[in-house]
Structures are given as structure tokens and as C-alpha cells.
Chains A and B, each alone.
Chain A
């Protein structure tokens, strides 16, 4: 199980990294979302993988680690806010620069 989760995290990270290196803002937003999934899962898995034992007192004799969960919960909300911000930023850039290239211009055109 651990090996599989590790591999999945690796794949998520690879996909995210590859996408944020692309030239168009939308791909970068996709990549950032994948990357934040990977990061959240990574943080979460640092509390080890336990199934069927939520961190609620008195429910099960032993339970999952609540601390990474609390950290990841806020991380999810914040990464949502950041995604929204980046989306608006890319919209604004696309409108004002008339291009959705991350460098604000089409690299195939001649640069001064």
C-alpha cells in the first residue's frame, strides 16, 4: 500500500511539474492544482495511512493522526483561494496582453 501511494504521489507531482512548465496560463493553473493535490496528499500521508479510524475520541481504540489532517484542511481551503487568484490573474493577463502566454507575448514573434 505504501509503495502504491508513494508512486501515485510521484505521478501526481510529475504531471503537475510538467504542466506548470508549459507556456499557456491555463496549463499552469491545471498543473498548480495537480501539484497542490500532490502536496496535500503528501502532507496527509506523513501522518501514516490508517483506514477505518477517524480521529474522533472514543470511536475506535486507536485512531489516525489528527495533526496532519488539520494542517491539510486549511491547506485545501487556502490552495482553493490561491487557485481562484491565479485564475483571475491569468484572465486579467489574457485580456490586457491579448495573449495567454505566460510571458505575455508569443515567443514566435520577434522580440525587440
Chain B
């Protein structure tokens, strides 16, 4: 589990740093540095210990099963390539932390930096050590996120915020493409494990989706590695503190894309598409970076563009695809990391010492910083590619590889010339960064003068890196053989011999190309003043401004779109929802070949025709009169009444009884509400709106009609026979509807009375805080009675109450065998009691109610629930019912079913809920309201 440990260590380190900063806010920066360096140092040592075990083409894969069904395993891979990258990440990470110790000396933000940089290390190590591509992707996104935080480290600066956002958008967008690409790749290979993918290069390359997949994966790699035209984020990321730039934007994160290409090269590489996409992108990036770098006056800007150029160079080499080119690519990658990091460190050092990074002001620093000049000399020379330096060798390798490319007809001339020209620029800007800063006359108007010098120890990381750079230049063969070669083997499909640096040294043409580039570069640098003058006259295009404008436009566009859809109007939402529903259903109904089914139509009954006509007319009447609310409400109750009659006609006595009592209650409630609301609706829908709604309504209605017709004319195949057969033997009742309610589907009913209770309690809660003084409708409408409690009504109500209660008891008791039951009996009771409220007034009636409605609801639910639970006591499932026939005195044989008890619960809940709703709505009527709360 070495790789897992290496990934985990920096997380623990970050946690420790966080705890330290929380618990000891005044801990010195030394303690922070010591703590932060532990994790990368341990990782580096672990990797060093593992080094002898590295063998050619052999990867150590460790797997912990997580969700194997989804192809998600926690698995790590340690082979030559990942070892090389992990070593660079941890090794340079240590030096960066050392460097940051002086960079952040005396700054309060130091702990934050140490936490973030360790988190970043984890993400980066995760990328290079993951065996599963999905995990790699997660780490990939993590680097984008942490990089966002690091670039925006100085969030008070506008440039930092914008740079951070730009890099997040570009690399995050690339990450999305990569996600799609990797999902495709995983599907094509049937696995997300690298071992499986690398083993089926042929299958993948001949797959029909290969071009799409490769493009998506490369899009991810190019955005991350700042390849043109996605390179624009990198210069703006220079708003980050210099240790961040040195680490993320030269040595590690931008190399993630290169790593990905090298990693997948054995499986996906060496096709024409691979060559075409990568080589051309690399060439463009190489040239753009080198050219622009020449003209940058900002030290970090110059270094950023030079980094872009070198990334392009490595990309170009990877695109060429030969084993030797891959060797050159990885060798140069190591060289670049070793010389670019110290140059960035130098930039930060100069920046802090002089307060500026402008090379037009910074000149002749050798007098004040001789030690810095000496440690900068080596990396700058390496970047220029001077003889004996590491950069010289890698550049020569590039030249000699460029001569070997013959495949596309244009390449054999264009590529060598192209790289030589780019080499020329790189010589020029390397010369410039060294000569301009340390010589070139005297400093001018620097913000900080004389320069702030840091202790000589601050130069240690630079010195180490410079020494390493020099070592690589002096003994390239052994460095390559021992460190880089295994990585090259892992990144190429076949075995290849060791790279022969002696042969390289004797190669004639590359040496001439090198010499040419050096001399021309010298000449360009010598002619820099006229060149700068010409460049200054070119139009100044700031990518950041373009990007910002683009972002603002996108945001504004999406806002407009959102507001158009979501303008806060419920009316519009409802219309949209209905239209969508209607459209979807209509779309599906068009698949129906025949509307009319085979079942013959039954005969029309004149009585039914009459009833249904009234039903339809009253419904249409509701629509026509809907602006005059009281007539509309009366017509609505006519509709309800005829629905009741339809139920009664078509053999549903239970439904008819229920509908009738519900109708009474509903109309009373709506009447109550209407007394508070305006009596008419204003005419405010314009004609197009009315026509639109009419259209939706007619389409919806026709859909329902057609569908109903289609079903009714087709044979029925119900499951109800089971209930009919089992009703008496299983449930002990002959009224099958009631037996279904309280027995077969008792659990449903329990749920339904619960909903009823909740709705009632919600009504209770809403009416508590309703302030009547703010009533909307002006009181004193002519059709609201002045005398609230007519004597006649009182007399009738008092007489009706005992009869109504007796009827409801009768309905309740016979419900199991004849139409009736808890629901209906409850509603009848509620109607009878409501009549008392209406007749006698709220206060009068309530004084005579002995019980609280809310506790009635609770009691009802409890009874129903306990009946169900009682079955458990006897070892039966929830709500199993039992029954027995008993001989009762006077009454005769009477059946006693436990379902009756359940029905009692239903009855109680219905009574409680209905009265709670009515009484509380009625309470609003009384202008002052009764003193105590009702319910």
C-alpha cells in the first residue's frame, strides 16, 4: 500500500497544519514549515526506497475492492512513469515548502498556504498513482479546485480573483470533456482499470468511437497543460504567490496533461489522429509561447509563456509517438521541472526584494544580489540550451527526433525548421531574463530601494535545484538510465534500448541546428530595442478582458433565459406544467391505432342522459359565471350533486353517500371562504391568454374523453374477483367496498386518515394567526344574511341532531355488510354537528362540545393503529382482522369483527378532522372571534 500511503500523507499533513494554526495561532513559521515538509519528505523517501524494485514494464498494482459492480475499485499503480512523476511532485514539493518558509515569513496567510499546498500534493499524487481512471478523474478535478484556491490566494486583489476564475473555467471545462472521454474509453474497454485499458490498444484504436473519445481526452489534457488556444489561463494564473507558480505552473499541475498523454500513449497512441492532433497543437503552442515570452516585461509573465512553450515542446515530442521521441519528452520534462522551478523562485525573490517584477525597471542587480545571480545562471543557461547544460541535451534530442519524422509529407521539412525557430526565441528570452535582471545598466525607480535582502538560506532550494540541473547536464546517461528509462518503458508499447547520449553528442545536424538557434537568438536579443518598439505598436489585446466579457455575456444570457421561464408567476408555471403534460400524453396517445374497442356500447338511458346533461351544463356554467362567485359556487354544488347521482346510478351506494356528505361540507367551507373574498373576479385575462387556456383545456378534455372511451370499449380484466370471493370468508362482511377499505387495504386507509388528520391540523394552524381586521372583502354585501342564526333553523337543527346521530350510528354499524361504514358515518355526524354550529352560532355550539377536535383526531388514529398492532400480539401481520358471530340479547345474531374497531378509528378521525376544519374557518366569521381557541 505504498502508493495509497503516499497519497494519504499530505492530507494528514494538511490536517495537522490546520490543527496547528487553529490551536497555536502564534506558532512560528519554522514550526509550520517543519510540519508541512514532513509529508512530502516521507513520500519522497518511500519512493526512493522503492526505487530498486522498479523493473521494466512491470507495474505494482494494489487494489481494494469498493464497488466492483460499478467498476469502482480503490486501486493504485506504481510503475516507472508514476514513480518518476511522484518523485518530482514530492521532491520539488519539499523544496517549495522550504522556499515558502522565507517567502511567507511574517505573513499571516502562511498556514493557509501550507494547508492548500499539501492538499494540492495529494490531488496531484492521486492523478499519477491511480490505477482506476475514474479515481484519477476525481483527483484531476481536485487539482483544478485547489489550484483555483491557490491562484486566488490573495483574494483581495481583483486580478487574482479573475485569474482564478479563468483557470477554473478553462481547466474545469476541460475536465468535463475528459470525464466524457474517460467514460467512453471505459465503455469501449469494458473496464476503467489502466491495466485492462493498456492491454487492448488494438481494439480501442479500431473502435468506431475512437476519434471522438481521443478528442475528448485530449481536450482535457490540453486545457490542463495550457496548450494553445487554451494557454491563456496560465499567464493570468501568475497572480498566485510565487511558490504556487513555481510548483503548480511549472513543475506539477501543468504537467498533468502531459502525464495523461504519456500514460495512455501505449493504448491510444501512434495513430494518424494522435499524431495530427497532438503534434500540431504542440507546434503551435511551442511557437506562440516562445514568441510572446520574448516580449513580456513581467518576469513571471515571461516565465509563464516560456513554460507554455516548453509544454508545447513536450507535447510535440509525445505526439511524434516514437519510443525515442517519448524518451526525449520525458527527459525534457525532468529538465524543465529542474530549471523552471528555480527561475520562478528567483522571480519571487526579486519581486519581494524590489517590490516589482517589471524588467524595464529591474536592471543590474548583480551588485546587490551576487549569490542570486550565481544560482540563477545555471537554470537560465539550461533554459537557453547552452552546451553542457541539461536543456542543451534535451533540445538536441528534440532536434534529432524532428529530423526523423517523415510520416506526413509536410513534416520532414516543416518540423525541423519550426523547432529551430522556436529554439531561437527560447535562447533570446533566456538571455533576456538573465542579462536584463542582473546586468543591462542600473535599476530605475524601483518601489523598494535598496533591495530587501533575505537570509542566504533562502537560496538553498534554488541552489539544490540548480545543482540537480547541472548534474543532469553533466551525467545525462546515468540519470536517464536509472530514473527516466523505466518511465519511458511504461509510456511506450514496446521495449526499446537505452538512449545513447554518446551518439547524440556526435550527431552533426542537431548540433548545427543548436548552434544556429543560439547565434540567431543572440542576434534577436541584441536587436531587442527596435523589436520591443515594434511590438509596443501592435494592438494590445488582453485575453482576460475578452474572457471577462464573454463570461458576463454568458451569465446575462442565462439570467434572461431563467427569468423568462421562471418569472415568479404561479399562473405561468401551472400553464407550462399543464401544457407539458398535455403534450406528452398526446404524443403517447397518437400511438393508439384504434380508439374504439371491441366491446359493444350499452344502451342509453333517458334518465342518465338527463343527469349527465345537467352535470355538463352546470360545469360549463361554473366556467361561464366564474367571475360571479356566488352563482358559480351554487352551480358547482349542482355538479357535485349530479356526480353523486351518477355514483348512485352505477351501483356505488357507498360512493354516493360519501360524495353527498362531502359535498355539503365542501360547499359550506367555500361559502365561509367566499364571505371574506371579493365577490367577483376582475376581468383581467386578455383575449390571447383566454384563447390559449381554452386551447389547453379543450385538448386536455378531449384527451381524457378519448382515453376514457378507448378504455370503456375494451374488455375489462379486473382483479376484483378475489375480493368478491374472499370478502365473506376472509373479512367477515358482505359489503365488499367496506371490507376492502378496512381489511384488505386497511393499511392504505390508515395512511389516508392520517393525511386527513394532517390537513385538518394544517388548517387549524393557518387559521390561528389570521387577522380578521384585515379582511379583504368589504363586509355588508347584500346577499350575506344580517341575521346570522335564524330561529327556524335553530329549531330544525335541534330536532335533527338526535335523528342524525342515530342514522350515523346505524350507517356505521351496518357498514361491514351493507352500504355505509366509518367514512360515511363520520361525515354524517360531522354534517349534523355543523348544522348545530350554523344554527346556534359558534360560541353556543362550542360551549356544548365536550371534546377537543384535535384530540379526537389523535384518538381516532390511535384506535386504528392499535387495532393493527393488536394483530402482532396474536402473532399475525399488521392489521390482520378477525371476526366472530355472536348472539346478542334482544338484537339477535350479530357479527363482531376487529375491523369494526378499525372503522371506529376511521369514524373518529373523520369527525374530528371535519369539525376542526369547519369550526376554525367559522371562527373567522365572528368578527372578534371567541375567546378561546377552537379545536
Binding site for B on A (CB under 8 A): 1-15, 17-27, 29-30, 33-34, 37-38, 40-42, 44-59, 63-67, 69-70, 72-74, 76-78, 80-85, 87-92, 94-95, 98-100, 102-103, 107-108
Contacts and interface: CB of A to CB of B under 8 A. Distances in A.
B330 interface: no
Contacts, number: 308
27 contacts: A1-B602, A2-B602, A6-B709, A21-B693, A37-B643, A40-B643, A44-B647, A44-B655, A45-B712, A50-B651, A57-B728, A57-B736, A59-B734, A65-B720, A73-B655, A76-B655, A76-B659, A77-B756, A77-B827, A80-B662, A81-B755, A81-B917, A84-B763, A87-B670, A88-B762, A89-B766, A103-B568
Contact of A74 (B619, B651, B749): B749
B575 A21 contact: yes
Interface in B597-622: 601-605, 608-609, 612, 615-616, 619-620, 622
A12 B716 contact: no
Contacts of A25: 677
Most chain A CB atoms below 10 A, which of B568, B622, B678, B774: B622
A17 B697 contact: yes
A19 B623 contact: yes
A95 B776 contact: yes
A4 B610 CA distance: 11
Interface in B672-694: 673-674, 676-678, 681-682, 684-685, 693-694
Given A44-B650, A84-B759, A95-B770, A12 B619 contact: yes
Given A103-B569, A108-B684, A5 B755 contact: no
Interface stretch (B89-97, B128-136, B358-366, B700-708): B700-708
A76 to B, nearest CB: 5
For the complex of A and B, the 5 pairs showing the least CB-CB separation, nearest first, are: A10-B705, A14-B701, A81-B759, A18-B697, A6-B709
B701 A54 contact: no
B665 interface: yes
B388 to A, nearest CB: 72
Given A21-B696, A54-B653, A91-B767, 16 more contacts: A4-B608, A9-B704, A9-B708, A10-B704, A12-B615, A14-B702, A18-B694, A29-B673, A34-B622, A40-B643, A44-B647, A73-B741, A74-B752, A77-B823, A83-B669, A91-B924
B571 interface: yes
B704 to A, nearest CB: 4
B674 A26 contact: yes
Most chain A CB atoms below 10 A, which of B605, B620, B650, B709: B650
Contacts of B284: none
Most chain B CB atoms below 10 A, which of A29, A34, A70, A74: A70
B658 A77 contact: yes
Interface in B225-260: none
A7 B752 CA distance: 31
B571 A21 contact: yes
Interface in B701-751: 701-706, 708-709, 711-713, 716, 718-720, 723-724, 727-728, 734-737, 740-741, 745, 748-749
B771 interface: yes
A85 B759 contact: yes
Most chain B CB atoms below 10 A, which of A45, A53, A77, A94: A77
B547 interface: no
B646 interface: yes
B603 A17 contact: no
B877 to A, nearest CB: 20
A8 B650 contact: no
A8 B910 CA distance: 31
Given A51-B649, A73-B658, A98 B774 contact: yes
Contacts of B819: 54, 56
A42 to B, nearest CB: 6
A24 B776 CA distance: 13
B313 interface: no
Nearest to B710: A6
B921 interface: yes
Contact of A103 (B571, B608, B652, B921): B571
Given A64-B650, A77-B910, A18 B708 contact: no
B860 interface: no
B639 interface: yes
A102 B677 CA distance: 13
A23 B736 contact: no
Contact of B770 (A46, A92, A98): A92
B257 to A, nearest CB: 48
A58 B655 contact: no
B528 interface: no
A11 B619 contact: yes
Contacts of A102: 570-571
B681 A24 contact: yes
Contact of A66 (B612, B658, B736, B748): B736
B632 A30 contact: yes
Nearest to A106: B684
A59 B708 CA distance: 29
A100 B677 contact: yes
B712 A6 contact: yes
A85 B762 contact: yes
Nearest to A57: B734
Given A18-B623, A76-B662, A51 B569 contact: no
Interface in B9-64: none
A20 B724 CA distance: 39
B760 interface: yes
Interface string B71-86: 0000000000000000
A56 B723 contact: no
A53 to B, nearest CB: 5
B752 A17 contact: no
Contacts of A52: 651
B634 to A, nearest CB: 11
A41 B718 contact: no
B446 interface: no
A84 B749 CA distance: 20
